[in-house]
Structure 1
Amino acid sequence: MGNTKTSLATPSVVSDFKEITKMRLALSVVFSSVAGYLLGVDTVNYKTLILLALGGYFMVGASNAFNQIIEKDLDALMHRTKNRPVPAGRLSVTSAFVIASVFTLLGIVILYTINKQTAMFGAISIFLYTCVYTPLKTKTPLAVFVGAIPGAIPFMLGWVAATDNFGIEPGTLFALQFFWQFPHFWAIGWFLYDDYKRGGFYMLPTGKQDKGTAVQVVMYTIWTIIISVLPVFGFTGTLHLSVVAAVVVFILGLVMLNYAIRLFKDMTVKAARVLMLVSVLYITLVQIVYVIDKFIR
């Protein structure tokens, strides 16, 4: 019987770890930072790449763990989050705090071994997400603007890890992921509107599912497309994009814009959910195109 209990308990420990660090989100952040690294580097150093991936994971894991400690009472009110380890009572606040603190330390130390700037941006990301974005979420829809800063750091972080330099190139990568986050998060805010409302979060720019929000989703999608093709014009330093790659990126942008316009026309939860999925596909494919384009030129 004892063995059965152990085997039943183990998956829940693993799933709780996945949940507290938001593993899928953390892995997408690692993917972004690796893409940024590959864009910035001349010769791939696999040790640096592994350190960046580990440091990036710990950085996001720490931010998410702190977030779930701060929001445990609000998470308990929402269907989407009530079964998270802390609000569900499977993990104590103390245990979660220890995990978050250890992850912060590990993340910053690992990134510091790459270079100081990478560690600095990692620390800024954790601070903004935990101490500014999280408390603002229940106060103002402007929280999304603050949250977009740590959310945009990973793509840029990879370049800084590769070059130990912050300039126009990582700035462009940052801007691309920064503007992309608005249609992405507003789409989530739209289809989870009722659930967010239970927790007292108003994530949409106007505070509701209206034309004003839908117009802004379209506008920020257009900004994202413009920034994503900028490297083809040659004024983003050593960050280049071939004409073929720029056309592919532009077409991907038009696909996302089509779904943003569909949300504007239909104003439905379904349209918002589809836009969210398309936006994830868009940023992933754009990063892949950027990297492939660099290595085949």
Structure 2
Amino acid sequence: MSDVTVPYTRESLSEAPGGTVGDFIALMKPRVMSLVIFTALVGLVVAPGPLHPALAAIALLAIAVGAGASGALNMWYDADIDACMARTVGRPIPRGRVTPEEAFSFGMVLSIGSVLTLGVLVNWVAGALLALTIAFYVIVYTMWLKRRTPQNIVIGGAAGAFPPMIGWAAVTGGISIESILMFAIIFMWTPPHFWALALFRAGDYERAGVPMLPVVAGEKETRRQIVIYSALLVPLAVAPAFIGLGGIAYGIISTVLGAIFLSLALALWRADEEAKRIQIAKRLFGFSILYLFGLFAVLLVERLAAGLMN
């Protein structure tokens, strides 16, 4: 897809011709990037073995740039549907401030640069995982799944689950059960997180022709799937306390947070009024971000505290 045609005109949606630094930063999806950086940092810190601080900084920078590259390439390919959705119409390409060709070139340069930097300066296992992450998000999720199946976010969620595994590999040069478990937690968290969003943004997705679960299977089935995935996620998220990745504090906090998460999912399932369902879906979406951040924050604090005591 080298030429993206979007339903907008530069005259109607552009504030000014030519992209600014801020526009190119926006292409990188900085809010998504912040979660990627944080989970990668946790994977890097909890991994066994030393890593020089300079190499750790390089690894995090490369992972951040790789995430930004994925965002830019996603916006390049999805420019047409972004212009149809209220949530995304203000992005740089629909506004006419950055052309699709500029976004594509920007994303490709960042992709190649981030992978080569991580591979050459840190190790090639981490570099290969970063390359896989970018390819999975852009090719498997954005180009293949997103417009074809309501399971898009289930399978495509793997892309967002790789960062802690990349951070772990940057230190150890390999993959282990601990890094796979961190991957699995984010992977299982992604569907209820995004389906909660999709419930109160269903009109956007329907206008854009994106087959998100509420559009294709209906609201009731979406709420049922949220409960199922939440019920699978909660015990999985407690598991690090049983394999030594997390400690006692992690076990307690993950259990409490999981109980709240599951209670919100069940409340959403039981809600009988549309306005109430929308309200609970928004609460679940907001709490899901806090939930994932809380899990990884406790892992990070526990490991840092253990390091200070040794």
**Do both proteins adopt the same fold according to a TM-score greater than 0.5, normalized to the shorter chain?**
yes
Q: Secondary structure at the match of 2:181?
A: helix
Asked if the contact 1:142–1:205 (Cα under 8 Å) also holds between the matched residues in 2, the reply is no
2:89 alignment counterpart: 82
Using the TM superposition, give the Cα deviation of residue 159 of structure 1 relative to its aligned residue in structure 2, in angstroms: 1.0
1:21 aligned partner: 28
Kept in 1, the 8 Å contact 2:264–2:284? The answer is yes
1:38 and 1:44 in contact (8 A); partners too: no
In structure 2, C-alpha distance between the alignment counterparts of 1:160 and 1:77, rounded to whole Å: 39
Tell me the distance in 1 between the aligned counterparts of 2:69 and 2:239: 33
Q: How does 1:1-297 map to 2 (within 5 A)?
A: 13-43=20-50, 45-112=52-119, 113-135=121-143, 136-204=145-213, 207-234=216-243, 239-266=244-271, 268-297=277-306
Contact 1:180 1:220 in 2 (8 A): yes
Question: What is the DSSP-based 3-state SS (H/G/I as helix, E as strand, rest coil) of the residue aligned with 1:78?
Answer: coil
C-alpha deviations, 1:189-245, integer Å up to 9, x for none?
1121111111111222772442221121112112221111112223xxxx4322332
Question: 1:121 deviation in Å?
Answer: 0.8
Aligned to 1:3: none
Q: Distance in 2 between matches of 1:210 and 1:64?
A: 28
CA–CA separation in structure 1 for the residues paired with 2:240 and 2:28: 34
3-state SS of 2:157 partner: helix
User: Partner amino acid for 2:257?
Assistant: L
Q: Name the CA distance, whole Å, in 2 between partners of 1:164 and 1:281.
A: 30
The code of the aligned residue for 2:258 comes to: G
- CA shift digits 1:122-177 (9 cap, x unpaired): 11111111111112211111211221111100122111111111121111111111
- State the identity as a percent: 31
Partner of 1:4: none
How many correspondences in the alignment?
286
Structure 1 stretch displaced more, 208-217 or 106-115: 208-217
The runs of 4+ residues in structure 1 deviating greater than 3 Å are 41-44
Counterparts of 2:102 and 2:220, CA distance in 1 = 44
1:40 is aligned with what amino acid?
Answer: A
Q: Tell me the TM-score normalised to structure 2 length.
A: 0.86
- Tell me which amino acid in the other structure corresponds to 1:228: A
| Letter in structure 2 aligned against 1:265 | R
Taking the aligned partners of 1:198 and 1:128, their CA distance within structure 2 comes to 26
**2:213 alignment partner, SS class:** coil
* Partner Cα separation in structure 2 for residue 75 and residue 206 of structure 1: 17
**CA RMSD of the aligned region, Å?**
2.1
Unaligned runs of 5+ in 1: 1-7
Where structure 2 has 5 or more consecutive residues not aligned to the other structure, the ranges are 1-14
